[in-house]
Structure 1
Amino acid sequence: MSDSNKTDFTNPSTFILQGIPGLETAHVWISIPFCTMYAIAILGNFTILFVVKREPSLHGPMYYFLCMLAITDLVLSTSILPKTLSIFWFSSREINFSACLTQMYFIHCFLEMESGIFVAMALDRYVAICNPLRHSAILTNPVVAKIGLAVLLRGCLVILPFPILARQWPYCRNNIIPQPYCAHIAVVNLACTDTRVSSYYGLSVLFCVMGLDVIFIAMSYTQILRAIFSLSTKDARLKTFGTCSSHLCVILAFYIPHLFMSLMYRVGQNVPGQLNILIANVYQSMPPTLNPVIYGVRTKQIRGRLLRLFTHEGT
């Protein structure tokens, strides 16, 4: 019987996504905030894209990078939440093996892309504040396009080994994933062979790729803060710092939970499983929801364009 089970799961045709194990009876209630976050993410990010497209004064590097972030957030949230909601609402737990690996790839690929876009936005703020007279000459449209292409290629290539390695492992334990989406470490943990290469590669991506991104952002903001504090008046310092505040907020909302969750997956064996999974789902869903809200509320140009749009339509 054990040999039969092992053969059945060596190349599984499907995985079973459990949602949040132990809280199945509350899935409908848990779905309410996730559905709300998804609706806000879709509406908010499409609004950002619409406003930037319609307003010629926003056709600059900062807003092009913001559009890249909005597209990334749309793909990231759509990679996770529709399947999650189908589990919560309809108990649609099965997912094809290839579809699971595809979902895993898209989730981690676009997380890496989001990190790269934050680096590009930090570069934009650094040039705008520390070398304002050359900002338009340095960050031309072709340069912005090349940066966007580099971010896209980096995310695609760095994450490509995740599904390639996961596909070659034998899965002879079971095919049940104790969460509502196919995260890399959750899939790899089902394999019945030594998967340290996948685990080590995942850690290297976390520390060498995202870690370098964080270092670059920190270096940029060190120089930005030095330039801000060298300004002569308090009003000038506050006004200049205000141009960076939205970016800082979304950076903190992205990197701190990501580092926490990545480490908790690997060393947090004493954390209750339901809490671990619930926090992970909230983390994955929050940045695409918060980013357009933060930029819409805190960015004067976007807020003003939205107010003019609604005022004009109202009249």
Structure 2
Amino acid sequence: MAHAIRIHANGGPEVMRWEEITVGEPGTGEVRLRQTAVGLNYIDVYHRSGLYKLPAFPAVIGMEGAGTVEAVGPGVTDVTVGDRVAYAGVLGGYAQERLIAADRLVKLPDAIDDVAAASMMLQGMTARYLLRETYRVTPETVLLYHAAAGGVGLIVCQWAKALGATMIGTVGSDDKAKLAKDAGCTHVINYRTEDYVARVRELTGGAGCDVVYDGVGKDTFPSSLDCLKPKGMWVSFGNASGPVPPFDMQILSAKGSLFATRPTIMTYTARREDLVANARELFEMVAKGAIKIEPSRTYPLREAAQAHNDLEARKTTGSIVLIP
């Protein structure tokens, strides 16, 4: 029998239980995947707490993993038994085995091991769509990224550097500032000791940034808008401090005819060709050494509650992987 972390109601980390599950055989277009590594991401906290609604209870949360295909259902042509694969954006990750649609899987190159894959799929593909699609970053771009020492943040530091952009990152400690700087962030601001809006204005000669990437949410709104140039773009892609409150659209015109978007990886990888293109570029960046992704910490999957506690207490940096 396989085991999984399941929740029977929304709540704190204590609602997560290690339970036996029945996986069953894959249906049409599905595979049964034996997972070797599972990524931990802030969206898991949102699902657990109820900020993002789950389809039903009991539920297995988790949106990212890697492993080996154990069985394939009718109509599956993209992968075969024995393939090493990874995925992101598909609920049900906190399990030793699971069923998953084959068209959501990407094959892993030999150079990327399973733990590395589980460290990079959701966060790496998020970094890719943010920098290459939501706002296409170039060497002329000046960007602000909140939580630059987080899992996505450290990837963005490296990717922005590879693109030649000027990146300003905010962090909550001197240790995290060093991590971001070492990863390639051009300027780092400790928001606990500096007014980041004033510092951004100083660093940009009063001009502001082309784009602000904001995965923090409530605590950085509306101050993030004050860091933008006229006609700049505010990209709100997460709620680590809580959701952004409803706001009057007039604030966007008042602060410089700003653009605002709320993207998700599910939209940006909804078509298989987009998923494959995103993953391919990520793997290429890793293969050529432009981006290095290693988990900062691993936990046994059965200890997922402790991992959630540490993540929410901001005790973690980089990527975290749960080992089934």
Scaled by the length of structure 2, the TM-score of the pair is 0.25
Normalized against structure 1, the TM-score is what? 0.25
Which structure has the bigger radius of gyration? 1
